[in-house]
Each structure stands twice: as C-alpha cells, then as structure tokens.
C-alpha cells in the first residue's frame, strides 16, 4: 500500500515537473540597430499622426513599421509620444510592441530619442512573447511626412 502510494506520488510529481518545464519561460537578449523613415501622407493616409517604415539589423533583423498612438508637445519643444511598433524578422516571425518615448529637441526638427517598447506578443517563435526593449537614438529632419530615426536597441524577449 505504501509502495503504491509512493509510486503514485512520484508519478504526480513527475507530471507536474514535466508540465512546469514545458511552460517555463526562456528569455533571450536582443540588440541591434534600426533606421526608420517617416512615410509621406499618401503612404499612410489613415494614420493621423503618421507612420514609419524601417529596416532592422541585429537580433530582430528584418522590417519594422510603427504609428504614433499619441503625441504631446511640451512648452520647451520636447515631445512625449506613445507608439505601436511591429517587427517582421527575416525568419518570418512577427513581434508586437507598445512604446513610450521622449523626444528631446536639439534644434528644430532634430531630436534625441529614448524609447521603451513593451512586448505584447507576436507570431511564430514570438507567439506569447513578453519583455521589453529600450532604444536610444536620434530623429533627423523630423516633420509631418518626412524625416528619419536612427536608433540602437537593446532588451530582452521572453518566450514560452
């Protein structure tokens, strides 16, 4: 009786341990660079605050697009923006993020940019992904429908 109980307990513990291993989260560092171009109005007429299209190098190598979900101008010329960014890697996986950025004005149309992207899932190997990515960079000649952002990114993507 005691032996049977021990065997059953071991089996249950084994199953729980297996399940726990199966659903364990794995976190990987990501880093690299991206270049984003602000699209002209004709290429994103339905995005009132504009949209960017960019190329990504490094861990997330591939393409990215993003739109501003809010934009708040401060008296000193700085901007606080929230964003919705998507990455499509060369491998064919998508990564979805929501961002919050401070654009510090250097001179008119030129900004120092600090952006934090919270990962909210993806497709393929990024399905259910969490984590965050911080970017540091600059915005050059930024205006409605034109300009460019050059950014370095670093963060962690966690997947199950």
With respect to another protein, which residue has the nearer C-beta, 69 or 104?
A: 69
Q: Whole-number minimum distance, CB 80 to another protein, in Å? A: 21
Beta-bridge mates of residue 157: 28, 131
- Residue 75 vs 94, nearer CB to another protein: 94
Question: Among residues 19 and 127, whose Cβ is nearest to another protein?
Answer: 127
Task: Return phi, psi of residue 14, to 5°.
Answer: -60, -45
Residues in 32-71 at the binding interface with another protein, rule: CB under 8 A = 35, 37, 39-40, 42-44, 46-48, 51, 53-55, 62-65, 67
User: How far is residue 104's CA from residue 79's CA, in Å, rounded to a whole number?
Assistant: 7
Alpha-carbon separation of residue 19 from 6, 14, 51 (angstroms): 20, 9, 42
CB of residue 83 to another protein, shortest distance in Å: 11
Residues 123-142 that bind another protein (CB under 8 A): 123
Q: What is the DSSP letter of 150?
A: E
Contact yes or no for 137/106 (Cβ under 8 A)? no
Segment interacting with another protein (CB under 8 A) among 24-32, 80-88, 105-113, 128-136: 80-88
Query: For the chain, percent helix, then strand, then coil, each to nearest 5?
Result: 15, 60, 20
Residues near another protein (CB under 8 A) are: 35, 37, 39-40, 42-44, 46-48, 51, 53-55, 62-65, 67, 84, 86, 88, 90, 92, 94, 96, 123, 146, 148
């Amino acid at each position: 009786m005691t032996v049977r109980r021990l065997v059953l307990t071991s089996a249950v513990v084994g199953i729980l341990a297996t399940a726990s291993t199966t659903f364990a989260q794995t976190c990987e560092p990501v880093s690299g660079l991206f270049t984003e171009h602000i699209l002209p109005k004709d290429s994103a007429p339905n995005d009132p605050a504009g949209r960017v299209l960019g190329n990504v190098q490094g861990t997330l190598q591939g393409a990215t697009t993003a739109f501003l979900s809010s934009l708040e101008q401060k008296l000193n010329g700085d901007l606080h923006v929230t964003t919705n960014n998507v990455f499509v890697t060369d491998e064919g996986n998508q990564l979805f993020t929501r961002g919050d950025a401070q654009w510090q004005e250097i001179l008119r149309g030129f900004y120092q940019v600090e952006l934090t992207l919270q990962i909210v899932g993806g497709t393929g190997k990024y399905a259910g992904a969490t984590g965050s990515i911080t970017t540091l960079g600059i915005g050059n000649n930024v205006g409605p429908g034109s300009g460019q952002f050059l950014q370095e990114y670093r963060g962690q993507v966690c997947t199950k």
